[in-house]
Amino acid sequence: MDSHSLYDKLQVLEPREKELDTKERLKAMERPLLTWYSKHARALPWRDRPDPYRVWISEIMLQQTRVEAVKPYYERFIGDLPGIRELAAVPEDRLLKLWEGLGYYTRAKNLKKTAELLVEQYGGELPASYEELKKLPGIGSYTAGAIASIAYGIPVPAVDGNVLRVVSRVTGSREDILKQSVKTRMEEELKAVMPEEAASSYNQGLIEIGAIVCVPNGPPLCSQCPLASLCVARIKGLIGEIPVKTPKKNRKIVDITVMLLWQNGRIAIRKREDTGLLASLYEFPNVEGHLKEEEIPARLGVEEAVIAPLPAAKHVFSHVEWHMTGFWVELEEPLHGDYLWVTGTDLKKNYSLPGAFKAYTKLIR
């Protein structure tokens, strides 16, 4: 059967004499959704063996990160830390090095914190309970729903941004999907209609449609969607208006001067404070504001240094945007203070520098 024939057979015809209400519309998604997912599910490494640990790690990595970007990190992480006990025991520096490049490092720290708790209180296993899962650090309703449904087959929804977009369009909802109350109500509505015997495929099917058909950026591929005949936004020409989102606040712009301090074949790094932005990660020495070249020696407390300007760089966080200027600073003697002086090889193998410094890290490597 070609794709168009399959698409036609998946559609649900809405009765002309009476428009479906929200519950009826959501219930009508089941058959076309499950049929479509069985044919179109992508081959992903965490789907090969969806045990609770692998599902958990993949879902945390996928938060705010694209699937294709996650794949190599996931494979490396699982290879080094194949289970909860290994994760609980790993030194933090090693954990953050494995996470390097994924960003949002609090996610990795919460993984370790949760693994330690699981070893202490749950026998080294993730609980087969949606409510118990939600009590664990870093696990909210979406991740708890994903683990519970995919790994344990428990019929609870997993509502992420993809699902919010798909269901809002299908039901024609103009409510703000960034409001917690809207997400909570949608979870309740989906729980009332989802099939108990196919919770995993149901949740993953909705997420998959949002990822590759009703896409987050750009126009949706309605001609490929099994839910097209049910979709109020498509039928009424509201695709450009739904979903509704509160406009984001403007990010704060912060100027930063980054200094690559070089002495006798070694580069200086230091560890950031335990709280705040990029907490506990290593960084190149830097100061707020854009220093001029002639200001560098005095700022470092040295009389002389060989200094060369480096390219400017920018890094965008969720609420802050760093505008960086950089300098290569070659010193006669290593500076005293909270610096580690490491070789380029050490930097690559053992220390996690956040992606914010990527433009400068690559100059060392």
Q: What pLDDT is stored for residue 10 in this prediction?
A: 56
Model confidence over 26-52: pLDDT tens digits? 999 999 999 999 999 999 999 988 999
Task: Give the pLDDT confidence score for residue 364 in this predicted structure.
Answer: 81
Angle between helices 161-171 and 180-193 (to 10 degrees): 70
Domain 252-364 architecture:
Alpha-Beta Complex (3.90)
Rounded distance between C-alpha atoms, residue 331 and residue 263, angstroms:
5
Within this chain, domains 3-235 and 252-364 share the same CATH topology? no
Of residues 273 and 135, which shows the higher confidence score?
135
Give me the residue spans of the domains in the chain. Answer: 3-235, 252-364
Q: How would you write 200-222 as a 3-class SS string?
A: HHHHHHHHHHHHHCCCCCCCCCH
Quote the pLDDT of residue 196.
93
Catalytic residues: 59
Q: Could you tell me the pLDDT band of residue 257, with boundaries at 50, 70 and 90?
A: very high
Give me the half-sphere count of Cα atoms (radius 13 Å) on the Cβ side of residue 234. Answer: 18
Out of 3.30.450.20, 3.40.190.10, 3.20.20.150, 1.10.340.30, the CATH code matching 3-235 is 1.10.340.30
Share of the chain above pLDDT 70, in %: 95
Q: Contact, 267 vs 282, CB < 8 A?
A: no
In 3-state terms, what secondary structure has residue 341?
strand
Of residues 5 and 15, more confidently modeled: 15
pLDDT reported for residue 209: 97
- Cα 272 to chain centroid, rounded: 22
- Under 8 Å between Cβ of 150 and 50: yes
Helices (H) and strands (E) in the chain, counts: 19, 7
Which is higher by pLDDT, 27 or 7? Answer: 27
Asked if pLDDT for residue 3 goes beyond 50, the answer is no
Instruction: State the pLDDT at residue 12.
Output: 57
pLDDT of residue 6: 47
- Binned at pLDDT 50, 70 and 90, residue 2 comes out as very low
pLDDT at residue 7 greater than cutoff 50? no
Q: Calculate what percentage of the chain has a pLDDT beyond 90.
A: 76
> Is pLDDT of 15 > 60?
no
Average pLDDT (229-244) is 95
Question: Residue range 131-148: average pLDDT?
Answer: 96
The model's pLDDT over 301-336, given as tens digits with 9 standing for 90+, comes to: 898 899 999 999 999 988 899 999 999 999 988 888
pLDDT recorded at residue 274: 81
Interval 167-181 mean pLDDT? 96
Residue 167 pLDDT greater than 80, yes or no: yes
| pLDDT recorded at residue 84 | 97
Query: For residue 263, how far is the Cα from the chain centroid?
Result: 37
* Mean pLDDT over the full length of the chain: 91
* pLDDT confidence tier of residue 1, bands split at 50, 70 and 90: very low
Nearest Cα to Cα of residue 198 among 149, 245, 232: 149
